[in-house]
Structure 1
Amino acid sequence: MINYNTILVVIDNDLSTQPALSRALELAAKTGAQITALYVAYDFSYEMTTMLSSNEREAMRNAVIKDRTQWVQDIVDSQESDIDVEVVVKWESRDFEAIIRTAMAHHADVIIKASQKADDLVSVIFTPTDWHLMRKAPMPVLMVKDHAWPPQGNILAAVNVGTEDQEHARLNDKLTEIARDYATLLTGTVHLVNAYPRAPISIAIEIPEFDTEAYHQSVHNHHMQEMTAHRKKFSIDPQCCHVEEGLPEQVVARKAHELDAELVVIGTVGRVGLSAAFIGNTAEHVIDTLHCDVLAVKPDGFESPIRLV
């Protein structure tokens, strides 16, 4: 079961509403978590005002922080919720570093931030700050749209059951457990999706005797067997398990659309240290194609490059 003690929610000055705060309050009401609402303020012109002394610049920064603190507090008060929300305003030029450091300092279990709608009002735009958070935050990052989570919704976990890599296998387990916990919390249904690639066309050209269809069937059967073994560990309905041929960014996005998923849970780093990062390729492409809420989850043992100062 989801055990959130502290939720860090990012307040966005560019949005007319604060869907991240609404989602944080919803989760806090269900989990009993405390909420820290963070606003990152910065104005480069204040740092470049040479006619002012350092004390005067500090006074100007403090005035902005005081004003923004009251602004955020007014937003919190307008929610008409009984849940206590701590308001924090940080003056820092790099938003994502302030967010991650504040989350670590407050021992946050999850960061919640709103994604921005594109011009077509369907797709979303992930800002550079969003990507930095999903790559570098040590805790899960929930990117939300401005919509409600209705009961009996679908929660989709993107897994890679065909892997022989033990780290990926452990991440599959973690993603499935989290998806199941969210489904329990929201009285929804867990779905698992796994994509597998086609054989390169060049193989059939270079090796005429290569049986492409037999190869495709063999790969499909392997992924189906692995999905069956995986779903049984978590008592997932076989009708809710989807193994499809294609690129992950296409398969996961298509299945999320078909299911009208409320949330997609995806792993954002496949390896740590000097090994290749999953976020640099597959996961990043998948996230960029989704039009619903996304929960980006790190594997156990991930260490953020951002440090508390």
Structure 2
Amino acid sequence: MQALKHILYFADGEFGPTQAFRRAVALAREHGARLTLMDVTIESGIGADLVKRFGLADDVQQSEQRLWALTHLAEDWVQGQPARLRVTIGTPFIEVIQAVLRDGHDLVIKPVRERPSSRGLFASTDMHLLRKCPCPVWVDREPEHAAPRQPAQPTDANADPRCIRVLAAVDATQPDSRQLNRTILDTAGAVAGRDDAALDVVHAWQAPFDGSLPGAGPVDHDVQLADVLGLLEREHAAALTALTADYRTRLNGGDTHLARGEPAATILAHADALASDLIVLATLSRPREPGLFIGTTAEDVLQGAQTSVLALKPEGFVSPVS
């Protein structure tokens, strides 16, 4: 992970010491980075007459309450350089991305907002940020059965959450993506090294055909198919070996994994089988035309992920939010 200078923690309505918050505090301390704590009040659209009649808190009052909550969170947990506090009114993902563009944040960390679906973990705001935020976004899932935590000093183990297993998802054969793949590996390796975690590298590949070879006769079809698949597998294995050659000493009990299958499903299956705490991936293989914010594989991984995700963008990515 590159040296961090300005971390943005987006509370997203969660004002306790979540794992994401404690990770943001720990990273800011280690990197000597400025830390900003932010939340957003969604515009209610409720008229002043209804607010007065029913004794409701208007948008400004809600923002003041959120700022009070962030203030107490910072007082209890942030030591040393004081955190900046910011509460705005608007659409959450737009407000966060505009803050990143304006203030030059180099990492956004937020707690996951679980959606009521068994298919995936991330809610709408999470997905918008993962797709469109120009800097890396770490959406952190709270551990299951986590015990309530009391305010602690930053040296307290509770204040510094750790990953046990990190999974880096790469496409070792994607043209022009070597640098982005190395960024994924460097980032995943830095997280794993910091946490003394195992690092796994997964590359999934598919044959560019559906099991039938054009022009193959009925007798030799199976033999030709096996030969072609074997050749493709060796090419993918060689590409993965070359890509990860400089990272073998950083796996720390993890491994490289080459698997044939639909890429997103294969990545998610490995994350589940390995009990990965974090998936590190790029949401685009390279800069695309305006209007296309995310690659198909990344989209499907994010839609089905059941664990924390750290999403990176390629150099040159331009957010559609301005």
2:186 to 171, 177, 181: 177
Report how far residue 50 of structure 1 moved. 7.3
Percentage of identical aligned residues: 24
What is aligned with 1:104? 101
Against the structure 1 CA distance between its residues 12 and 131, is the aligned structure 2 distance closer, same or farther, given a 3 Å change threshold? same
What is aligned with 2:266? 251
Equivalents in 2 of 1:63, 1:275: separation in Å? 38
Aligned length: 296
What is aligned with 1:155? 166
Against the structure 1 CA distance between its residues 117 and 180, is the aligned structure 2 distance closer, same or farther, given a 3 Å change threshold? same
2:127 to 127, 131, 151: 131
Report how far residue 243 of structure 1 moved. 0.5
Moved more, 1-10 or 200-209: 200-209
- The letter for the 2-side match of 1:108 is H
What is aligned with 2:155? none
Moved more, 95-104 or 193-202: 193-202
What is aligned with 2:239? 226
Query: Superposition pairs for residues 15-164 of structure 1, below 5 Å?
Result: 18-46=18-46, 48-49=47-48, 61-79=59-77, 81-82=79-80, 84-92=82-90, 94-117=91-114, 125-147=121-143, 153-163=164-174
Equivalents in 1 of 2:227, 2:30: separation in Å? 49
TM-score, normalization: structure 2?
A: 0.81
Q: Provide the secondary structure at the position in 1 that maps to 2:45.
A: helix
What is aligned with 1:212? 225
Against the structure 1 CA distance between its residues 299 and 116, is the aligned structure 2 distance closer, same or farther, given a 3 Å change threshold? same
Structure 2 unaligned spans of 5+: 52-56, 144-157
Q: Provide the secondary structure at the position in 1 that maps to 2:212.
A: helix
Structure 1 unaligned spans of 5+: 53-58
Equivalents in 2 of 1:117, 1:44: separation in Å? 22
Query: Superposition pairs for residues 176-195 of structure 1, below 5 Å?
Result: 176-195=185-204
Report how far residue 188 of structure 1 moved. 2.1
Report how far residue 28 of structure 1 moved. 2.0
Cα RMSD of the aligned pairs, angstroms, is 3.0
Equivalents in 2 of 1:20, 1:152: separation in Å? 12
- The letter for the 1-side match of 2:226 is E
What is aligned with 1:302? 317
- The letter for the 1-side match of 2:300 is H
Equivalents in 1 of 2:181, 2:255: separation in Å? 16
